Amino acid sequence: MGKLNALNRAATVARAPGVTVQIDAQNRAQLLALIERLPRQRIVMFGDLVADEFIYGEIARVSREAPVLILKQREREIVPGGGGNAANNLNDLGVQTVVVGLVGEDEPGDALLRYFRQKGMSTSRVLRLPGYRTPTKSRILGGLAHWQRQQIVRLDHEPAALPPPAVRRRLARLAAEAASSATGALISDYGYGTASPAAAARLRRSARRQARPVTVDSRFDLGAYRELTGATPNEPEIEAMAHRSVDNDLQCLELLGRRILRRQRFEALLVTRGRDGMMLLEPRRAARLLPIFGSDQAVDVTGAGDTVIAAFTAALAAGADFLRAAMLANCAAGLVVMKRGTATVTAEELKEAVKNA
């Protein structure tokens, strides 16, 4: 019975609609031209700023107090996560990046602001809120000396409540004002209250006056966003919205994705599928399937979704159609998952990868 079910699933996938696209010579030339135009783009990243903390240690011994390992801490670093990681990816792609968000008056907030300034990103639109706790994800990694370190546990430190309405309105106003002179905008909603569908509508109206793309990556509330240029949900997020399992059925995935397109009036939906690549959906077009770029043995998928939305938005701002923007995002994702931790992809890395595709 198990073998029969597996054969049925394979047959379903084989019958799935859609056109598989690869990087051929013509696409390669267009993608390289897109990368050259990235430094001329100015993109607003509006969303939740998260501090990704990494604590590295070496295994010393087993504790006498409990059957747990004792680590000697060797290193500690804090890098931008969440919307901050999307902004960091935009910046490393050469894009002029405007960060709009919120941090607390705490050590993680200090670290994020310092990081952005060292990278040359303006923090004038990042508000500091007394009493607010900067969302922080602390990952503890350990291993023996000269061995590869493995993540042991993650601790999440979250704000006690959403930002006050007045603060959220001010952030929305700052984002809309910045978008009026930008070539695109990216909304990163991790559920901490900085971004919202109402703020997105204001941002969209500002960007539309200049015919600029506005994209969204929403972890928990994608169904509330309307009339944006595009979104980049992953397959589990699609399943959660539909209360239905896709189970590797591409016909089912396309059906659910097209429902989102129609209901929310998006111009495109780029669904990320892990080692199975991506699916691009547009109204009145056949689904396009993008095989995974590079190896399917990812080293670390931390923050890969931020890289996807950053590259996708940057390409659209530079004049790409949805297919080429998806191709560039797929390349960037394939590169970043081969790096450890919350990582980024540079324009030079992307250029070399496209040349050798």
Residue 13 has pLDDT above 80, yes or no: no
Length of the chain: 357
Look at the domain 20-51+81-134+160-355 and name its fold.
Answer: UDP-N-acetylmuramoyl-L-alanine:D-glutamate ligase (3.40.1190)
Closest CA to 70 of 56, 57, 87, 55: 57
Mean pLDDT of the chain, nearest integer = 91
Query: Which band of pLDDT confidence, cut at 50, 70 and 90, is reported for residue 290?
Result: very high
Q: CB count, 10 Å around CB of 294?
A: 15
Interatomic CA distance for residues 217 and 212, integer angstroms = 17
Q: What is the pTM of this model?
A: 0.91
Hey, which residues are catalytic here? Answer: 306
DSSP structure class, residue 234: B
Give per-residue pLDDT as tens, 305-329. 999 999 999 999 999 999 999 999 9
pLDDT digits (tens, 9 = 90+) for 206-220: 877 778 999 999 999
31 near 20, Cβ under 8 Å? no
